[in-house]
Amino acid sequence: MDLTGKTAEELVIEKHVEALRRGFHLWPTLAFDRPPALGDARWTADLILATWLQAETGRPPDNGLEYRVGRSGGGFDRLDFKFLPPEQWLPEEEPVDTSIPLNRRPYDRRIEIPVPWYGAGMSFGSISEQVMVARAKAAQQWQTFTCTGEGGYPDSLIPYRDHVITQIATGMFGVREETVQWAPIVEFKYAQGAKPGLGGHLLGDKATVAVAKMRESVPWVSLFSPFPFHSVYSVEDHKKHIDWVKTMNPEALVSVKVSTPTDVDMVAVGSYYAGAHIIHLDGSYGGTGAAPEIAKKNIAMPIELAIPKVHRFLEQEGIRDEVVVMASGGIRTAHDVAKAIALGADGCILGTTELIALGCTRCSNCERGRGCPFGLTTTDPELSQLVDPDWAAERIGNLYRSFQQQLQGILRRLGLRSVRDLRGRRDLLRYERRDA
Ligand code: SF4
């Protein structure tokens, strides 16, 4: 019950109706049938609905939906900004730069993205080919990136290859010399925050003929990615991996995706000395509905703790300005992006948030049977047709537009002309001791 005496379910239904009256088409409307199942403490019903609205309209909601924080009672949900008094805000007409570099080393290729985020690795197998294409289209339109994940590189991504990161993970599924050579950025996935120490697992029902062909495996047989890379047990081994990629593609930037164990700061420094350009920290809240709850809730550090730990250690080592730190695993909103940067990240990587923009209801059915009933995390040829790549790319682009607008608003209210000036400004954050 809230102060008006309405239950959470009644409020969700009311907000759906309200949004529809205002002319928004919330999709999928199936959520009407089961409002009690919509949302949890991190992805509240409000945040899900607000993300759908942003994907529809390209701007934050103005109908009272809470689009900035969830109700987890900790982390990003309790951090807020110490904004300047209104008379000190930057004027609306003053430009605010949201671009970041993806290489800070004094050599190698320069790549900049106009917004401080790109799309997370989600494999062909975990998501449909249609969703992969949509994410690549959006990345191309926004001059940023998306990532293949570890399930190979479908031919339909080739037209977007300047905006596609090739991921190499422990299963080596679909890793081919040409897909490394096409990539402006190659990402080694050593671990993922949602299930560190568990590797990957694609159930047989989703390993269709097309998926198996891409992964050079047998259809309808479950696939496991081991943990860890059995060829890497030291910084020297790690450097050999990076040298291997640089031999195939000397132009490529190299990203290293790690989860957030307590010694993540040491891992980040080791990756820097091995030659990585980007340290990708994946915190414990990430992953689709396929990640086991016990792993999501009990292993690895929340990203809010990992970012400042790594940022400070890189500073102490005198190498912070030579490496880019990207954060993922629990970044839901534009405010989360800004808070992650204020804690010390250069930028963020969005995965689940993009799926929510396409209509995900967080029902956790990603891995079961034919997969997602809305055509997102499925490989079923029929269900996959529910997503039109042009429609989906437009929704992701709209979400990016809304996020950029909000980020610029935050920077203006802090008196900053560039998102690069926000990095590591923990002094601009305060911890709210309110009841969640
Ligand atoms: S099955 Fe589909 S709607 Fe449900 S959590 Fe997975 S992606 Fe979201």
How far is the CA of 54 from the CAs of 16, 60, 396, in angstroms? 14, 6, 9
Task: State in Å: Cα 356 to ligand 1 middle.
Answer: 8
Task: State in Å: Cα 285 to ligand 1 middle.
Answer: 16
Ligand 1 atom with minimal separation from the 359 CA: 3
Ligand 1 atom with minimal separation from the 363 CA: 4
* Residue (of 326, 375, 373, 376) closest to 353 by Cα position: 376
Ligand 1 atom with minimal separation from the 356 CA: 8
Task: State in Å: Cα 321 to ligand 1 middle.
Answer: 38
Task: State in Å: Cα 128 to ligand 1 middle.
Answer: 12
CA dist 419 and 79 (Å) reads 18
Q: Which two tokens stand for residue 280?
A: 């990708």
Task: State in Å: Cα 367 to ligand 1 middle.
Answer: 9
Task: State in Å: Cα 393 to ligand 1 middle.
Answer: 18
How far is the CA of 131 from the CAs of 44, 355, 385, 400, 434, in angstroms? 24, 9, 10, 16, 39
DSSP state of 174: T
Domains of the chain: 8-71 (no CATH), 100-424 (3.20.20.70)
pLDDT of residue 255: 97
Task: State in Å: Cα 377 to ligand 1 middle.
Answer: 6
Across the 436 residues of the chain, what is the mean pLDDT of every consecutive 10-residue run?
49 50 43 60 94 97 94 94 98 96 90 98 92 98 96 94 95 88 95 66 83 85 79 85 94 94 92 96 72 62 95 97 96 98 98 96 84 91 94 98 98 98 98 69
Pocket test for ligand 1, best of 42, 355, 378, 386 (most atoms within 8 A of CB): 355
Ligand 1 atom with minimal separation from the 371 CA: 1
CA dist 432 and 80 (Å) reads 7
Which amino acids bring their CB within 6 angstroms of ligand 1? 288-289, 355, 360-366, 372, 374, 376-377
Task: State in Å: Cα 366 to ligand 1 middle.
Answer: 5
pLDDT of residue 334: 98
Ligand 1 atom with minimal separation from the 127 CA: 7
Ligand 1 atom with minimal separation from the 362 CA: 5
Question: From the CB of residue 106, how many other CB atoms can be counted at a distance below 10 Å?
Answer: 7
CA dist 263 and 242 (Å) reads 21
pLDDT of residue 199: 66
DSSP-assigned states of every residue in 252-283: -EEEEEE---TTHHHHHHHHHHHT-SEEEEE-
Q: Which two tokens stand for residue 240?
A: 């050999």
Strands (E), 62-193: 79-81, 100-101, 112-113, 117-119, 146-147, 164-169, 185-189
Task: State in Å: Cα 16 to ligand 1 middle.
Answer: 19
pLDDT of residue 196: 60
Ligand 1 atom with minimal separation from the 372 CA: 1
Task: State in Å: Cα 336 to ligand 1 middle.
Answer: 22
Task: State in Å: Cα 411 to ligand 1 middle.
Answer: 33
pLDDT of residue 409: 98
Q: Which two tokens stand for residue 225?
A: 């990615």
Pocket test for ligand 1, best of 131, 362, 380, 386 (most atoms within 8 A of CB): 362
CA dist 365 and 373 (Å) reads 8
Ligand 1 atom with minimal separation from the 377 CA: 7
CA dist 291 and 275 (Å) reads 30
How far is the CA of 361 from the CAs of 48, 111, 126, 372, 392, in angstroms? 7, 34, 16, 10, 15
Task: State in Å: Cα 8 to ligand 1 middle.
Answer: 21
Pocket test for ligand 1, best of 366, 368, 380, 395 (most atoms within 8 A of CB): 366
Ligand 1 atom with minimal separation from the 361 CA: 3
Pocket test for ligand 1, best of 288, 293, 356, 395 (most atoms within 8 A of CB): 288
Q: Integer distance in angstroms from the first to the last C-alpha of the chain?
A: 14
Find how far residue 243's CA is from the centre of its chain: 27
pLDDT of residue 24: 42
Return all residues near 220 (Cβ < 8 A) that are at least 6 apart: 204, 205, 207, 208, 212
Is the CB of residue 286 less than 8 Å from the CB of residue 352?
yes
Protein residue with its CA nearest to atom 6 in ligand 1 = 366
DSSP state of 427: G
Protein residue with its CA nearest to atom 2 in ligand 1 = 372
pLDDT of residue 129: 95
